Amino acid sequence: MIEQLQIRDLGVIADTTLPLGPGFTAITGETGAGKTMVVSALGLLMGERSDAGAVRNGAKQARVSGIVRTNDPSVFSIVDELGGDIEDEELVLTRTVSAEGRSRVSVGGTSATVGGLLRLADRLFAVHGQSEQLRLKSLAAQRDTLDRFGGDSLATVLGDYQSVHARRRALTEQVESLREALDERAAEAARTRAELEEIEAIDPQPGEETELAERIDRLSNIEQLRTATSAAHEALASDSDDPMSRDAAGLVDDAVREVERAAVFDPRLTAIVEALQSASFQLADAARELAVYAGDLDQEGPGELAAANERLAALNALFRLYGVDAAAVIVYAQQAAARLDELDGDDERIDSLTAELSEAATRETELARELTALRSAAAERISVLVSTELWQLALPDAEFVASVTPLDTLTASGGDEVQFLLAPHPGSELRPVAKTASGGELSRVMLALEVVVAGVDPVPTFVFDEVDAGVGGAAAIEIGRRLAQLAQTSQVIVVTHLAQVAAFANNHLRVQKDSSGGFTESSCVRLEGQDRLAEMARLLSGLSDSDSALEHAAELLALRG
């Protein structure tokens, strides 16, 4: 329930506060006074699109703020998710629209999005204007209305059906896609298998290309290596029989002997002896390693170089096709193997999906039948109840029927077409509401539907913008009565130009304009006593001080009791 609505710089409204509260609030005013801006303000709080053109001339921005009282757990959950707070069951919603068109939203004291307002609006408000009357002409809107009336049991089955329907469609697409692509996927499997065979034939190892490059470089320079190692070995430990030949090992050994003799006289030379002995051992080790290395070179013949070059060429051929190095080719092979497993499993996957599809289709059909039965039962009930409401809305001979007929195919909303039919006069045939109802009749059908549906699926706040369009006299009085009845369980806010409707409100607000300052601005006041009587008289005759109009207005107000 909206307790209070504050509007600033929206259209012709400069700054006003509307005290709303529970029950039935009627909003009246002269043409052009700004009644539409009240509905626009409520629409902004409900997440409707903003319009920079609605900002009052000369103002930087328009601002709408509402205090909403609620104890709905789902609303608390949404507000908490948005980061806002609700204090003492009061939620503050704010929307600003700049003259440049920028829109800002605040929910419970925290910045939010328009999407957040829309989520809250679904739980808090229902707005009905002439656009809603036009929407009621659509079969989808009629089906949605019947489904709301069907209550929780229908909503549960509908939710289950929509879930299964979506699953069935997804499975159908998967099976059709697999079947259509069988030839293409078979060709892909053949290509992938050939690629794997090519890679497996070479069997690259991580880092192998680097080792091969080093090996080829060594084998390509083997003679230089042999010459160098032979000369180095000769310098370290010569195998020559020439007594004059002196190698490094021999020279170091001579040095050891000379220093050992001298160390007898000076112990400080002992450390040098040890260093020379260590050098002798290292030279001997180096000579042995050179001999082994030279022996290995002798075992590597010309065929080794050719084999290494051939192997590296084979690897490079793989690199051009499947990756920059052996590691990349191995990863490619792993991915290709996984893809091949998937492709080779097409037949099994199609069989499995087909079985799932069959189960889903069977369940979808079962739920569609259950949904049809629930809708048909709901249609019978709503037909009687809405017809009764129409009789009390000055259509005493009207007959309303909600028709449920089967469709040839199942849709996302089931296997039914729901259509509202109306026979407004005795002897007239039942025809679609969209084709047969006049503007006034459509207004009453919409109101009757809301009264009936609200008994099953109540909405905290209803906003009606000229629900009485095209209606007058006794019909308008009955509309007022039904709005008052609806206000017993929900807050009802009605913008009206009919005194017969406003008479049944427990809260009467007037939007009035003031042009005394050289420009027009509007505000809103609550009417009571003689002020309300005068406004009722104005609505009836255009004159607020006409004796006959005042008398008629008093009679209307007495109807409310």
**Contact call for residues 15 and 78 (beta carbons, < 8 A):** no
Percent of the chain topping pLDDT 70: 93
List beta partners, residue 103: 97
**CA gap 20, 485 in Å, rounded:** 17
Other residues' Cβ atoms within 10 Å of the Cβ of residue 193: 15
Q: Is 47 exposed, middle or buried (0-12, 13-18, 19+ CB in 10 A)?
A: buried
- Contact predicate 467/441, CB 8 Å: no
**Residue recorded with tokens 């006959």:** 548
24-29 vs 507-514, strand pairing mode: parallel
In this predicted structure, what is the pLDDT of residue 284?
Answer: 83
Arithmetic mean of pLDDT over the chain: 85
Residue 234 has pLDDT above 60, yes or no: yes
138-158: pLDDT as tens digits: 888 899 999 999 999 999 999
Question: Other CB atoms closer than 10 Å to residue 268's CB: what's the count?
Answer: 7
The model's pLDDT over 310-364, given as tens digits with 9 standing for 90+, comes to 888 889 999 999 989 999 999 999 999 988 887 776 777 788 888 999 999 999 9
Q: What is the DSSP letter of 387?
A: H
CA 347/CA 353 separation, integer angstroms: 10
Q: Round to whole Å and give the CA distance between 401 and 478.
A: 21
pLDDT digits (tens, 9 = 90+) for 261-272: 888 888 888 888
Give the Cα separation of 65 and 17 in Å (integer).
Answer: 9
Q: Read off the pLDDT of each residue in 491-518 and give the average, rounded to a whole number.
A: 85
d(CA 134, CA 439): 10
**CA–CA distance, 160 with 169 (Å, rounded to integer):** 14
The first and second tokens of residue 39, run together, are 């509905």
**Of 239-253, 382-396, 450-464, which gets the smallest average pLDDT?**
239-253
Kindly state the average pLDDT of the residues 376-403: 91
Q: Cβ(1)–Cβ(21) under 8 Å?
A: yes
What mean pLDDT do residues 240-244 have?
A: 60
In this prediction, residues 28-32 reach a mean pLDDT of 81
Contact 459, 121 (CB under 8 A): no
Residue ranges of alpha helices (H) inside 345-438 are 346-392, 433-436
Q: What is the pLDDT of residue 34?
A: 74
pLDDT higher than threshold 90 for residue 181? no
d(CA 138, CA 156): 24
Pairing of strands 521-527, 507-514: antiparallel
In what side-by-side order are the strands of the sheet with 414-423? Answer: 399-411, 414-423, 431-432
The pLDDT assigned to 522 comes to: 77
Most trustworthy range by pLDDT among 109-118, 436-445, 517-526? 109-118
Residue 243: per-residue pLDDT: 60
Q: Say if residue 131's pLDDT is above 60.
A: no
Single pTM value for the model: 0.62
